[in-house]
Each structure stands twice: as structure tokens, then as C-alpha cells.
Amino acid sequence: MLTKLVANADEAIRDISDGAVIMLGGFGLCGIPENCIAALVRKGVKDLTCISNNAGVDDFGIGIMLKTRQVKKMISSYVGENAEFERQLLSGELEVELIPQGTLATRCLATGYGMPAIFTPAGVGTEVAEGKEIREFNGKPYLLEHAFDSDFSIVKAWKGDTHGNLIFRATSRNFNPLMAMAGKITIAEVEILVEAGELDPDQIHTPGIFVNRIFEGRNYEKRIEQVTTSLKA
């Protein structure tokens, strides 16, 4: 029998140790693996390298791990929502690699697709290109960007089954299916866990082959960064 099911976040992250390179799904606070982040804080594992589009806010998401100084290095595309992050960065406490969002996404894809590197025009002529190989195709320059090499990927899905199949909801999909493909070990926390066979095979976003551990998370807060609303007429 497939044994992907784990009891909870603590069991799921049991072997993540100091110095690990981990990917964390989500865009802003949308679609982040809340349960696993809380478990990583409980475990107190440190010197982490985190690959994630954003770094959370001061008191939520990856921001919590920054407060507890568990993160040695962040690889992100945008970190504008986090004052503690900016402080640690400017003081040199935190190592930061900022890369274009499409490059981040596509480097995850490359890992999952077994492609060692990809070419992208993003960043040509900028700081991002420093030290990187540039190559022209049809007269247009591209940067060579390498696939990521991470120890763990931690993603959050809406629904999942005991075979590890995942379905995401709305824009909480974002980086989650990409990172799910890119981890040596992929951990998925889901809002709703069902038995294999209950999900429509045509609607699965991440096939279970990419997922090593899965559990149903608890008490999702799903905090919103900017509540913007329309008035009813």
C-alpha cells in the first residue's frame, strides 16, 4: 500500500534539519502551508534556505520564521511587505537572493521537468544577469538559469487524496504545483483530504507521483493582506 499519509505537520517535517534548503508554496499569504510553517517554528530548525516568492508579513507566513531567526537565506522575487525582513537584510543578518518571479517559477518547473537549465529574457542587462551566461536566439539575448536543487518542497492544496493527488483553488494555486514537482521530498498539506478515487482524474492539478507526504491541515487562518471591496449599488 502507498504510505504517503502522515498524521500532521510535525510528522511531515520530522526530518527537516538545520541547513536544509526548502521550497514553500504561496504568493503573498495566499496558498501558504500554514501548518508546516508553524511546525517548523515549533521544531526550531535553523539555518534554513527558503525558496518562496515572498517572505510573508511581520507576524504571519515565513515572517514568523524570520522573527525566530531560523532563516539563513531567502530566495524570493518580492519581499516588500515585511519590515523585519528589510531590517535583517539591511543589517546583513539575512542573506537574500532576489530573482524575477517568472524566473523563479520557471526554475521550479525546470526541476520538476528534469530540465537542468532554461533560457529566459528576464533580467538581461540588469543586476540579475551578473555572472550569468547570456546567449542569443534569433537575435534576442537570454539568460541561462539553472533548475533549483532543494531538499524539501512544502505546498498547500485545497483538496488532496491518499495517493498524493492535489487540486488547488483559485489563485492559491500560484507556485504550489510547481514546487510540488521540484522537491526531493514533497510535503503537501490540504484543507480537505479524501480517499484515492474520489477526485476526478481530469481535474487533478498535481499528480500524486510528485507528492511524498500528505496530511489534512487544521485551523487555517488564511489571512488576507489587502482586503479590497466594492460597495453594493
Partner 1 sequence: MLDKFGIAKRIAQELKDGYYVNLGIGIPTLVANYVPKEIEVILQSENGLLGIGPFPFADDVDADLINAGKQTVTTTKGSSFFDSALSFGMIRSGRVDLTVLGAMEVADNGDIANWKIPGKMVKGMGGAMDLVAAAKNIIVAMQHVDKKGNSKLLKKCSLPITGLGCVKKVVTELGVFDITAEGFKLLERAPGISVDYIKEKTEGRLLIVGEIPEMELN
Question: How many residues can be counted in the chain?
Answer: 233
| Residue of the chain from 14, 47, 125, 144 that contacts partner 1 (CB under 8 A) | 125
CB proximity list for 64: less than 8 A, separation 6 or greater: 37, 38, 41, 56
d(CA 112, CA 183): 8
Instruction: Tell me if 161 contacts partner 1 by CB under 8 A.
Output: yes
Say if residues 11 and 215 touch (Cβ distance below 8 Å).
yes
Instruction: Tell me if 230 contacts a copy of itself by CB under 8 A.
Output: no
Nearer to a copy of itself, 117 or 196 (CB): 117
Instruction: Tell me if 209 contacts a copy of itself by CB under 8 A.
Output: no
Stretch that binds partner 1, among 13-21, 33-41, 44-52, 79-87 (CB under 8 A): 79-87
CB proximity list for 233: less than 8 A, separation 6 or greater: none
Instruction: Tell me if 94 contacts partner 1 by CB under 8 A.
Output: no
Instruction: Tell me if 118 contacts a copy of itself by CB under 8 A.
Output: yes
CB proximity list for 195: less than 8 A, separation 6 or greater: 161, 162
Q: State the binding partner of 165 from partner 1, a copy of itself, none, CB within 5 to 8 A by kind.
A: partner 1
Instruction: Tell me if 139 contacts a copy of itself by CB under 8 A.
Output: no
